[in-house]
Chain A
Amino acid sequence: MARTETTGSTTDFDLDGAPAAPLLEIDDLRVHFKTDHGVVKAVDGVSWHVDEGETLAIVGESGSGKSVSAMSILGLVPTPPATFPSGDIRLRGRSILKMPEKQQRKLRGKEIAMIFQDPLTALNPVFKVGDQIAEMIRTHQDVTKTVARRRVLDLLGEVGIPNPGVRINQYPHEFSGGMRQRAMIAMALANDPKVLLADEPTTALDVTIQAQIMLLLEKLRQERNTAIVLITHDLGLVASHADRINVMYAGRIVEAGSCDDVFYRPQHAYTFGLLSSLARMDKKRQSRLLPIKGVPPSLSKVPPGCPFHPRCHFATEGCVEVVPTLETVVRSEAMNGDGLHRAACIHSDQVEIAFSERLAP
């Protein structure tokens, strides 16, 4: 690395130092848990990156490893039982995993912030909402209580909480679900982070509130140029808000690409299954919904070959023999071949044809 090592002062982490490196990059990350029932490979060789002003969606069922990969970015995965057998997480080219704990802590909440699924349990019930946000500010910035309080009021207003002057002194349970998530977002934004990790940010909320929260995130991304990593199982949410999508299954990425590619030209049987089980509003005639049979495999006993084959409609013997790797999709025609669409499925041709038949009126 070209830059000299830090000399121990506080925020000597120059985020604009190496413009060539992506803002946040995960490289061949593996997170394994040692349990009584064997090694659980929660994340097993995952790579992705995200840049300023971009929204990357990570989609998968529960237990697919999508949350664990996000939590390891913030060092929230307890070790032990977790181990990191390989891989790296880099912020502007600098490895977070290899950083000493104290330095990592300076990034948490400052450069990378996170919002969680259930805002009721994610906020501490015994402290006032305003104090919890102010704590976020005062942990990373040397400001007085009064200054912090003024900023909290601004933030509450910015995320659309009416009556900030009253709300700042209330406890989490006095907020409604949507308001709590807004407060969480205000907390996450308090130090103007470069990356916002949103782990199922709308799952616990009513449908109407979900849209509001997503619009709020969208607005903040545009205004602040924040990179957003949106972790969700909700494909509908992804369709309208993400630039790129990673589909995860059993701890691995099985398909990655732009929204259009993944939604209209899926190459992996699992993505096909997800899309076929989803009601679509963008089509006049709804084709019959097809649920995916079965449940995701236990991560301590991942099936050999393609982990999806026991549930797969397209599976053949070949699927059991080799673990398919993520290959760039080669397009015969000149349609949108940006080289970013990748899938790990040996039957991707059949999947694409089957899907276009479903799409056809």
Chain B
Amino acid sequence: MAKFITRRLAHAVLVIIAATFLIYLGLFVLGDPFASSGEKTVPPEIQEALREKFGMNQPFFMQYLTYLQNMFTFDFGIDFEQRRDVGEMLAAAVPATARLAVIAILIEIVIGLTAGIVAAVSQYTFRDVFITIITTLGIGIPVFVIGIGLRAGLSGEWVFPAVPRSFTVETPWWQEIILPAFTLAILDAAFIARLMRGSMLEVLRADYVRTARAKGLSERKVIGKHAFRNSVIPVVTYTGVSLGVLLGGALITETIFEYQGLGFLLVRAIQQHNNPVIVPIVVFAVLTFVVLSTLVDILYAYLDPRIRLH
């Protein structure tokens, strides 16, 4: 097990190094990130300061090292747009995004698992068909359509704050988070429900479930213990990876609801070619994604003893 974890971590580190190099290559080398582009003008003194900061006068390899050093010491420089410290912008956005991600994941686990198990144990009944239709819609409708629909229908009503946000009214965080969290959760909940249904149906055909029944266990124990423990493994994997994606910023949802997280920042930065903001967010997103995927692999080995040994 220790060997497996070490190997997996080493692999993750290599992937992160390669990915950050690609980001660097893409955003810094192919095209001058500090030049004025389109209608954007970057004041010469800022261009100069940034070139200095990222060591653009030095040899290629040194430049790369400087970039890495800046990334991992949280020294991101200042943004083109408002000339604010990028580190401070991120420090405000990361917790907001994390809160949104965790709440969305909790919603989707509860809804998805329940729906999946109910559908599987009542296969071919009306309940199963109903859940299958709902999940098909949930997976088939793109996030931005769901988000726009929820915003058009609900924002400004009942407890949901109006979008565009009013800067004079202070909204409690939970009111602000409900609609984006549900928007994010719908797709994944539908996906988890499907995954759970499929994996539960497969497990229900397994010999060990028959053994559990032959032991005289109640159906509740057969499903809730023997079948659940085996069928939940792929769901854990999916949820972990999905959390990894969400922690990097929910670009579309945050944009629709003007939720001040990483995704919102990133989209605005991209539209303004604001490289000092784009780079750290993308690096952060890749980092959390890889770390979460690695953790999921390790968790997977823990959940399935057959993997643990090898």
- Chain A positions within 8 Å of B, measured between CB atoms, are 71, 74-76, 105-110, 113-114, 116, 118, 121-127, 135-136, 139-140, 171, 173-174, 184, 187
Query: Contact check: which of A106, A121, A126, A184 meets B216 at CB < 8 Å?
Result: A106
B-to-A contact residues, CB < 8 Å: 206-208, 210-218, 226, 229-230, 303-306, 309
Bound Cα distance from A76 to B230, whole angstroms: 20
The reply to whether B213 and A123 contact each other, CB–CB distance below 8 Å, is: no
Whether the Cβ atoms of B213 and A74 lie closer than 8 Å is yes
Contacting A126 at CB < 8 Å: which of B211, B214, B304? B304
How far does the Cβ of B143 sit from chain A's closest Cβ, in whole Å? 34
Cross-chain contact B213 with A171 (CB below 8 angstroms):
no
Q: How far is the CB of B233 from chain A (nearest CB, A)?
A: 8
Q: Which residues of B contact A71 (CB under 8 A)?
A: 210
Besides the contacts A109-B216, A173-B309, A187-B215, what 8 more A-B pairs have beta carbons closer than 8 Å? A105-B216, A108-B215, A108-B216, A110-B216, A116-B211, A121-B208, A126-B305, A173-B305
The answer to whether B215 and A109 have CB atoms under 8 Å apart is yes
The minimal Cβ–Cβ distance linking B205 to chain A, given in whole angstroms, is 10
- B215 near A126 with CB under 8 A, answer no
On whether the beta carbons of B215 and A139 are closer than 8 Å, the reply is yes
Chain A contacts for B306, CB-based, 8 A: 125, 171, 173
Shortest Cβ gap from A194 to chain B (Å)? 14
Please tell me if the beta carbons of B230 and A124 are within 8 angstroms of each other in the complex.
yes
Cα–Cα, bound, A140→B213 (Å): 13
Q: B237: shortest Cβ distance to chain A, in Å?
A: 15
Q: Report A-chain residues with C-beta under 8 Å of the C-beta of B304.
A: 125-126
**Contacting residues, chain B, for A121 (C-beta < 8 A):** 206-208
Q: Report the Cα distance A237→B223, complex, angstroms.
A: 36
> Chain B: which residue is nearest A81 at the CB level?
B124
Residue of A nearest to B207 (CB): A121
Pick the residue among A123, A139, A171 that contacts B211 (CB under 8 A). A123
Assuming A121-B208, A124-B208, A125-B230, is B215 touching A135 (CB within 8 A)? yes
Q: Report the separation of the CA atoms of residues A135 and B214 in the bound assembly, to the nearest whole angstrom.
A: 12
Q: A124-B230, A126-B305, A173-B309 are in contact. Are A105 and B218 (CB under 8 A)?
A: yes
Query: Distance in Å from the Cβ of B207 to the closest Cβ of chain A?
Result: 4
Decide: B217 and A139 in contact? CB cutoff 8 A.
Answer: yes
A160 to chain B, nearest CB (A): 21
Docked CA distance A107–B211 (Å) = 14
**Considering the chains assembled together, what is the distance between the CA atoms of A116 and B215 in angstroms?**
12
Contact of A113 among B214, B226, B305 (CB under 8 A): B214
Chain A residue nearest to B229 (CB atoms) is A126
Shortest Cβ distance from residue A180 to the other chain B in the assembled complex, whole angstroms? 12
Tell me the nearest residue of chain A to B306, going by C-beta: A173
| Residue of A whose beta carbon sits closest to that of B211 | A122
The 8 Å CB contact of A139, one of B216, B303, B305, is B216
Contacts A/B (CB < 8 Å), 23 sampled: A74-B213, A74-B214, A76-B214, A105-B216, A105-B217, A108-B214, A108-B216, A109-B216, A110-B216, A116-B211, A118-B207, A121-B207, A122-B207, A123-B211, A124-B212, A125-B304, A125-B306, A126-B230, A126-B305, A135-B217, A139-B215, A139-B216, A173-B309
Chain B residue nearest in CB terms to A123: B208
Q: CA A110 – CA B230 in complex, angstroms?
A: 25
Distance to closest chain B CB from A213 (angstroms): 17
The closest CB in chain B to the CB of A125 belongs to B306
What A residues does B214 contact at CB under 8 A? 74, 76, 108-109, 113-114
Residues from chain A with a CB closer than 8 A to the CB of B212 are: 124
With the chains together, A109 CA to B304 CA distance in Å?
26
By CB atoms of chain A within 10 A, which of B213, B215, B226, B229 has the most?
B215
CB neighbours of B229 from chain A (8 A): 124, 126-127
Instruction: Please give the distance in Å from A42's CB to the nearest CB on chain B.
Output: 16
What is the distance, in angstroms, from B232's C-beta to the closest C-beta of chain A? 10
Of B206, B210, B216, which one neighbours A107 at CB under 8 angstroms?
Answer: B216
Residues of chain A lying within 8 A (CB to CB) of residue B218? 105
Which residues on B sit within 8 Å (CB–CB) of A75? 213
Cα of A75 to Cα of B222 in the assembled complex, Å: 14
**A271 to B: closest C-beta gap in Å:** 30
B217 CB contacts on chain A under 8 angstroms: 105, 135, 139
Interface centre among A114, A121, A126, A174 (most CB of B within 10 A): A126
Query: Can you name the residue of chain B whose Cβ is closest to the Cβ of A184?
Result: B211
Contact call B216/A116, Cβ cutoff below 8 A: no
Contacts of A136 in B (CB 8 A): 215
CA distance A107 to B213 in the complex (A): 11
Are A108 and B213 in contact (CB-based, < 8 A)? yes
Q: Inside 8 A of A108's CB, which chain B residues have their CB?
A: 213-216
**The 3 nearest A-B residue pairs measured at CB:** A108-B216, A121-B207, A109-B216
Q: How far is the CA of A106 from the CA of B217 in the complex (A)?
A: 9
Least CB distance from A74 to B in Å reads 5
Nearest to A74 among chain B residues (CB) is B214
Nearest CB of A to B224, in Å = 13
Cα separation A145 to B215 with both chains bound (whole Å): 17
Instruction: Find out whether the CB atom of B213 lies under 8 angstroms from the CB atom of A76.
Output: yes
What is the chain A residue whose CB lies nearest that of B204?
Answer: A78
A108 to B217, CA, bound (A): 8
Selected contact of B210 from candidates A109, A122, A135, A140, CB within 8 Å: A122
For the complex, give the distance between the alpha carbons of A37 and B309 in Å.
44
A76: chain B residues within 8 A (beta carbon): 210, 213-214
Contact A116 B309 (CB under 8 A): no
Instruction: Identify the interface centre among B216, B226, B229, B303: most chain A CB within 10 Å of its CB.
Output: B216
Compute how far the CA of A122 lies from the CA of B209 in the bound complex, rounded to whole angstroms.
8
Q: How far is the CA of A242 from the CA of B213 in the complex (A)?
A: 27
Contacts of B309 in A (CB 8 A): 173-174
Q: CA–CA, A2 to B266, complex, Å?
A: 81
User: CB < 8 Å: which of B207, B210, B226, B305 contacts A171?
Assistant: B305
Residues of B within 8 A of A127 (CB): 226, 229
Which residues on the A side are within 8 Å of B207 (C-beta)? 116, 118, 121-122
